[in-house]
Chain A
């Protein structure tokens, strides 16, 4: 049987409206009760209602905290600082505006263009291969450092689920096993480890970040490797061991 995607989306949009009406207290008592009963009957709608409630609560909490900070900043400022802030906002917006693009007319014969394109492609292939070897080579070279090979729990019987998970992922990086899947899992762990709130991954953020960067290099993804290292450089000072290693690798990648 064919399923009409538009119908499904319309049904979900209507449910969104009803969940929002409930949360705003716009329903009568009877409608309220009927809505709650419906949630019990429809697990998918119930899950989406809970998620919407979470989203709204999160936005409220983050928004209120930001508002408090702004009010505090305004109270601690003078009129001049406020005027400067508005001027900076205009300036920033002007700088961020895209430049107008000039349109050139193409008059060269197509044959010349295709020859030039072929030459560029051949050169690009050569450079690309060289780049590939350099980047993945860096992954291999730095992948042998103690930060990659050192295990989180060192085989302790009391290691947590998160530590066991990390050990498996770090071994994958070392052995070049399932790089795509490992990168996906490690990037989640990395995101969790640098969250402001303490969690199972917080204490291992240095090893997670390092292994993720190495995995990206081994996968020839220079851009993502640099993004992780750049973030790490903001966390680890240049005078500690990890900070030094991060900056050294960052520099080598940028040099290619």
Chain B
């Protein structure tokens, strides 16, 4: 592999690792009250497990890669807690793959209610992709966490230090409204 390609590959790995570390630390400390150093050990071991699963070819992705990865970290955390002889009375609403996924068919059914021409629809989708790639905090954590990674409100509240499930719900709702305002603003400008 050429040097530039190697650098690009390492950059992609670094980006994924950095994003996952922020989430994993918030999740493990919030749910299991583990020390930072324990979280680092778990994170490193989990990354190697993910690497092996992908390179061994036994990897089937039924959720987002992030959900899958944090699932490995979660299992490692349970192992660690058991090893430390700690009681496991954690109410952990961790997403389990496809069970709670949003269904593509239903998404398309709602989108069809708008009745846009095909080319306009494709351009609107492109606008959405741009907006969701650059969501500001805390909307990036909440919208990605809830809609893509499948975390419950309760888990998100614990991860990101919200007072209650309803505070997350309200903040997430406001993020949705901000997204709507931004999308409408750009769409009106571009398509009206």
Verify A89–B176 contact, CB threshold 8 A. no
Contacts of B10 in A (CB 8 A): 77, 81, 84-85
Verify A192–B48 contact, CB threshold 8 A. no
Verify A75–B110 contact, CB threshold 8 A. no
- Verify if A240 is at the interface (C-beta below 8 Å from B): no
Q: Given that A25-B103, A57-B111, A85-B14 are contacting pairs, would A74 and B132 also be in contact in the complex, using a CB cutoff of 8 Å?
A: no
Verify B113–A55 contact, CB threshold 8 A. no
Verify A23–B9 contact, CB threshold 8 A. no
Number of A interface residues in the complex (CB < 8 A): 61
Interface 9-mer from A45-53, A173-181, A203-211, A243-251: A45-53
- Verify if B185 is at the interface (C-beta below 8 Å from A): yes
Verify B129–A58 contact, CB threshold 8 A. yes
How does the 8 Å CB contact mask read for A58-80 relative to B, with 1 for contact and 0 for none? 11111100110111111111010
Q: Can you name 14 A-B pairs with beta carbons within 8 Å?
A: A24-B101, A24-B106, A54-B128, A57-B111, A58-B131, A59-B143, A60-B104, A61-B129, A63-B66, A81-B9, A81-B10, A85-B13, A188-B185, A188-B186
Verify B130–A195 contact, CB threshold 8 A. yes
- Verify if A238 is at the interface (C-beta below 8 Å from B): no
Q: Given that A53-B107, A71-B65, A89-B21 are contacting pairs, would A59 and B147 also be in contact in the complex, using a CB cutoff of 8 Å?
A: yes
Interface 9-mer from B76-84, B86-94, B118-126, B154-162: B118-126
- 7 A-B pairs closest in CB distance: A58-B128, A197-B126, A73-B12, A89-B21, A85-B17, A85-B13, A53-B110
Verify A62–B18 contact, CB threshold 8 A. no
- Verify if A34 is at the interface (C-beta below 8 Å from B): no
